[in-house]
Chains A and B, each alone.
Chain A
Amino acid sequence: MAMAVIWAVMVGASILCGAATGQGEAVASAALEGAQAGVELCLAMAGVLCLWMGVMEVMRRAGLVRALSRLLRPLLRRLYPDFAQEEAVMEAVSANLSANVLGLGNAATPLGLEAARRMARRTPGVASDGLCMLVVCNTASVQLIPATVAGLRAAAGCRTPFDILPAVWLASAVSVTAGILAAKLFARIWR
C-alpha cells in the first residue's frame, strides 16, 4: 500500500511539475527512458551481485557465520543484559548479527525473527528493551560488503565499485553506535 502511494505521488508530482515548467514532453520521454534504464541496471548489476553471493555462500558453508557468532557472543551479552542467561535467544541473536555482517540477508531474517519471538514470550504484546535493541540493530546496516550497492556503481560505469568501502564502514559504525546509544538512553526515560 505504501508503495502505491509513493509511486502515485512521484508520477503525479512529475506530471504537474512538468506541466508547470513546460517540460511535459521531456517528462513523457523520461518515462520510457527510465523503464529502459531499469532493465539495463538489473542486467548490469547482476554480475557483481552473483559473484559476491557465490563467494559468500562458500564462506557460509565453510562455517564463517558460526565462527563469527562465537566471537560476537561476549559483546552481545552486554548489549542484551536481560537475555544474557537465555542461551536460545543469545544464539539466535548472535547468528542473526553475524549473517547481517556477512550480508546474508536471506539467512539473517529468519534468525532475527526467531530471536524476536522468543524475546516476546516474556512480555507479550509489548516491546521489551531487548526487543527494541534487536530491532534497532536490524534497522541499522552492519554489512561489511554491500554487494548490491557495488553492483549499482558498477552498472553506472564505475571501474572501482568497492572504493567506497572505508566510507561505508565509517558511516555504518557511526550510525549503529548512534542507534544503540539512542536505544540505551530511551530505555531509561521511556516507560
Chain B
Amino acid sequence: MALAMAMLTPALMLLAAVWGLYRKVDVWDALTAGAGEGLRVCLRIAPALICLLTAVSMLRASGALELLGGVLEPVLTAVGIPPETVGLLLVRPVSGSAALGVGAELMRTYGPDSLVGRTAAVMLGSTETTFYTVAVYFGAAGIARSRYAIPAALCGDLTGFLAASWAVRLLFGGG
C-alpha cells in the first residue's frame, strides 16, 4: 500500500503525458500552464497564510491552544478525535486559509507523520470551507431562505472530522 501511494505521482505523470499525447494535447504547454497556476495559488494564499501562522504561533506559545484542547479533551477523546486538533475543528468551516495555517502549525509542532499531524492533514483533505461556500452559492443564486442547507452541510463536516480521526487510527495505528 505504501509503495503504491509512493508510485502514484510518477504513475499519474506518465498517464497524463501518454493520454495527452494520444488525444493530441500540447502536453508541455498544459503542464507549464498548470504549474504557473500553482504558483499563482501559492502567491494568492501567501499573505493570509503568513499573517495566520503568526497568530497561530502566538496562540501556541501562549499556552492558549493547550488550554482549549484541555478543556474540550474529555469530549473529543471520548469520540476519538485527538484533542490537539481542536483549533482546526473551530476554524475549518469558516476560513480555508486559517485552517491551512492551523494545520501547518500542527504538522510543524507534532511532525507530519505523527497521529496529530496525519489526522490534521486528513481533516483538511476531507472537508471544505462550509460557510464560505454556502455564502458564495446562495449569494450568486439570490437565495434568502437557505432552509436546511447549513445544518446538513455541518452534519457532513462533523462526520468528516470523526471519520478522519478514525481513518488515521485504522490505517496507521497508534494513539
The secondary-structure label for the interface of chain A is helix
B149 touches A162 (CB 8 A): no
B163 touches A170 (CB 8 A): yes
A-B Cβ contacts below 8 A, count: 366
Interface size class of B (residues with CB under 8 A): 35 or more
A3 at the binding interface (Cβ < 8 Å): yes
B143 touches A55 (CB 8 A): no
A21 touches B62 (CB 8 A): yes
Q: How far does the Cβ of A161 sit from chain B's closest Cβ, in whole Å?
A: 8
| Residues in A neighbouring B51, C-beta threshold 8 A | 7, 35, 38
Name the residue of chain B whose CB is nearest to the CB of A21. Answer: B63
A15 at the binding interface (Cβ < 8 Å): yes
Pick the contact of A50: B39, B107, B141, B142 (CB < 8 A). B39
Contact (A27, B58) CB under 8 Å given A62-B16, A174-B159: yes
The count of residues in chain A whose C-beta lies closer than 8 Å to any C-beta of chain B is 102
B61 touches A132 (CB 8 A): no
Restricting to B108-139, which residues have a CB under 8 Å from any CB of A? 108, 111-113, 117-118, 121-131, 133-134, 136-138
Q: How far does the Cβ of A65 sit from chain B's closest Cβ, in whole Å?
A: 13
Contact (A171, B164) CB under 8 Å given A23-B61, A27-B58, A37-B57: yes
B104 at the binding interface (Cβ < 8 Å): yes
B152 touches A179 (CB 8 A): yes
Q: How far does the Cβ of B58 sit from chain A's closest Cβ, in whole Å?
A: 4
A172 touches B137 (CB 8 A): no
| Residues in B neighbouring A112, C-beta threshold 8 A | 137
Name the residue of chain B whose CB is nearest to the CB of A147. Answer: B38
| Residues in B neighbouring A190, C-beta threshold 8 A | 147-148
Contact (A27, B32) CB under 8 Å given A35-B50, A139-B128, A172-B126: no
Contact (A34, B30) CB under 8 Å given A6-B94, A42-B42, A132-B152: no
| Residues in B neighbouring A165, C-beta threshold 8 A | 5, 8
Docked CA distance A6–B87 (Å): 12
B19 touches A132 (CB 8 A): no
Name the residue of chain A whose CB is nearest to the CB of B165. Answer: A171
Restricting to A11-62, which residues have a CB under 8 Å from any CB of B? 11, 13-18, 21, 23, 26-27, 29-31, 33-35, 37-39, 41-43, 45-46, 49-62
Docked CA distance A145–B123 (Å): 14
Q: Which residues of B contact A (CB under 8 A)?
A: 1-2, 5-6, 8-9, 12-13, 16-17, 19-20, 22-23, 25-27, 30-39, 41-43, 45-46, 48-64, 67, 91, 94-95, 98, 100-101, 103-105, 107-108, 111-113, 117-118, 121-131, 133-134, 136-138, 140-149, 151-153, 155-160, 163-164, 166-168, 170-172
Q: Which residues of A contact B (CB under 8 A)?
A: 2-3, 6-7, 10-11, 13-18, 21, 23, 26-27, 29-31, 33-35, 37-39, 41-43, 45-46, 49-63, 106, 109, 112-113, 116-117, 119-120, 124-127, 131-132, 134-136, 138-141, 143, 145-149, 152-153, 155-158, 160-168, 170-172, 174-180, 182-183, 186-187, 190
